[in-house]
Structure 1
Amino acid sequence: MQPAPTTSNRGILRYSQGREKFSMNRLIPSPDLRSFITHYWLIAWDLRGQNSYRQEVLQHPGVNLVFERGKTCVHGVRKGRSSYLLQEQGEVFGILFRPGGFYPFLQEPVSSLTDQSVPLDSLFDVDRNALEDTLFSMETGSDRIHVVEQFLRNQHPKRDPQIETINEIVHYIIEHREINRVEEIAVHFGLSPRTLQRIFSLYVGVSPKWVIQRSRIQDAVELADGGVTPEWSKLALDLGYYDQAHFIKDFKTIVGSSPHEYATNGLN
């Protein structure tokens, strides 16, 4: 199994600091599951004798299934920041589903999972402890992928063309920073705003407007984490904001500090 081609750490806050605390690897799914899954991710840490470390993330619009001994859960999209406390020694194995990609497994509105973490065996008929034991007894990423892919295939998900449409829309939002209105997206894809909202609630769990805002803030964070403080007023306009004040308000609400504070603290 080869590492996934993407090396983007988009959404991981202060990644340059975090990578000193943990190691991360991403792997691609087998061809028959790629219509549902973005990638697998493996994180391991050893902080024995050190202070604990809290890693914060601005989540993508995709559900995560995270395997951890005694804690395996399905995590819906978090509208705010999500965080994980790393302490002592540990490892997790995660599956990031494509936007809409978890719907064929859930078969009910994905919005029911938004801002929720649900134990795996609450959603699927599975012995969670046995699955964890099998998964973490495997030493290689390839072997672990084989275990989780057998579990996923046993759920018999059906391909859904709506997932491809949703991912085209999300990609369009990411690539066109100037877009800031749902109506613009609806017109481009020949959908009514109401239909677009309904599709995203059913398949993704968050609104198209949320995806626009999250993508813009992730863009800003990536630039701030790059070591060069941007010209915030120009960046606000580049990201489709009408003015700098609205951009700063959104950034502070989502990230927890102003753009300048975030960039400055990241250089310390």
Structure 2
Amino acid sequence: MAGPRRDTRGIVEARELFNRVRFRRREPAPALRPYVEHYWLIDWDLPEPYASHVVPHPCVNIVFQRYGGEPPWGEVAGIGLELFTQKLEGEGRVCGVQFRPGGYRPFAPERPVSDWTGRRVPIADSLPGTDPVAAPAGICDPDDEVARVAALDAFLLGLAPEPDPQALRAMELVDRVRNDRTIRRVAQLAEAEGLSARSLQRLFAAYVGVGPKWVILRYRIHEALERAESGEDPEAVPDWAALAAELGYSDQAHLVRDFTATVGVPPTAYARPPGLQAL
């Protein structure tokens, strides 16, 4: 692992978010890197409320958070199926663990990951034996960022993840979907990997939490969302027909449909330069 990724995939209006909060990604301890994508740390002190929006990745997260003077608390966030909105106000801090797709099951092997999909549950509900008071306090309280990362490492290492070849297989399959744009259909992935479509579905349900078709779609929308924000010329409008072809869509209309259903607005409205925004 060459370090935490630096893209903004999944973050809606990333520039606006980064202007309002301090957002960082940090690497976990080496022993955790087979399972954990990265840690993500957010701190804010806002003069007025702000709503952040994220198109979730196919990943389980553990989230420790503290708002204002309230005691910190922790939860396990299963894969979100819809656009996630979080209102931020006043002063707060979040310390999150983003697992690799398939990487959470070795920490909680008793239940399939699909049991947590679309749910956010207290940490002890998914990880029995976890202290719901001590863990969040020990992770969120230190002002020193290095100390927070060390506390996250200690917490996860203390859970003693169980090596699981099927978890590794699931992670490899999702990595292929993420990196290979030629994978456009479940049957295509199954054939390439020597699996039946049914076996692929079962593996994804047990270890990823969503089906392979959902993962394929979500990664393509993540890339489209990032492209809409990453142009060097802020006044330029992306060539959506060309992008649709590049991402493996049969035509622009299918990309527009999927993008609108996921993000809530059509891509042309989302990427419209500031001077062209509708009044």
Same fold (TM over 0.5): yes
Structure 1 position 204, deviation (Å): 0.7
CA distance in 2, matches of 1:92, 1:175: 29
TM-score (norm 2): 0.89
Candidates 207, 212, 227, aligned match of 1:208 = 212
Q: Could you say which residue in structure 2 is the equivalent of 1:87?
A: 89
Q: Could you say which residue in structure 2 is the equivalent of 1:21?
A: 20
Q: Could you say which residue in structure 2 is the equivalent of 1:255?
A: 263
CA distance in 1, matches of 2:124, 2:205: 24
2:50 equivalent to 1:53? yes
2:62 equivalent to 1:65? yes
Please tell me the root mean square deviation across aligned C-alpha atoms, in Å.
1.7
SS in structure 2 opposite 1:157?
coil
2:112 equivalent to 1:109? yes
CA contact (8 A) 1:232 1:244 kept: yes
Kindly provide the CA deviation profile for residues 2-34 of structure 1, in whole angstroms up to 9, marking residues without a partner as x: x93421121111101111110111111111111
Candidates 173, 182, 186, aligned match of 1:178 = 182
Kindly provide the CA deviation profile for residues 156-204 of structure 1, in whole angstroms up to 9, marking residues without a partner as x: 2112222332222222222222322101111111111111110000001
CA distance in 2, matches of 1:240, 1:114: 27
Candidates 144, 153, 156, aligned match of 2:157 = 153
- State the 4+ residue runs in structure 1 displaced beyond 4 angstroms: 265-268
CA distance in 2, matches of 1:255, 1:191: 32
Q: What's the % identity of the aligned pairs?
A: 39
SS in structure 1 opposite 2:152?
helix
Judging changes above 3 Å, is the alpha-carbon distance between structure 1 residues 155 and 178 closer, same or farther for their aligned structure 2 residues?
same
Say which is worse superposed, 100-109 or 257-266, in terms of deviation: 257-266
CA distance in 2, matches of 1:175, 1:101: 18
Structure 1 position 247, deviation (Å): 1.5
2:238 equivalent to 1:236? no
TM-score (norm 1): 0.93
Q: Which runs of 5+ in 1 are unaligned?
A: none
CA contact (8 A) 1:37 1:101 kept: yes
Structure 1 position 148, deviation (Å): 2.5
Judging changes above 3 Å, is the alpha-carbon distance between structure 1 residues 29 and 263 closer, same or farther for their aligned structure 2 residues?
same
Q: Could you say which residue in structure 2 is the equivalent of 1:74?
A: 76
CA distance in 2, matches of 1:109, 1:266: 45
SS in structure 1 opposite 2:42?
strand
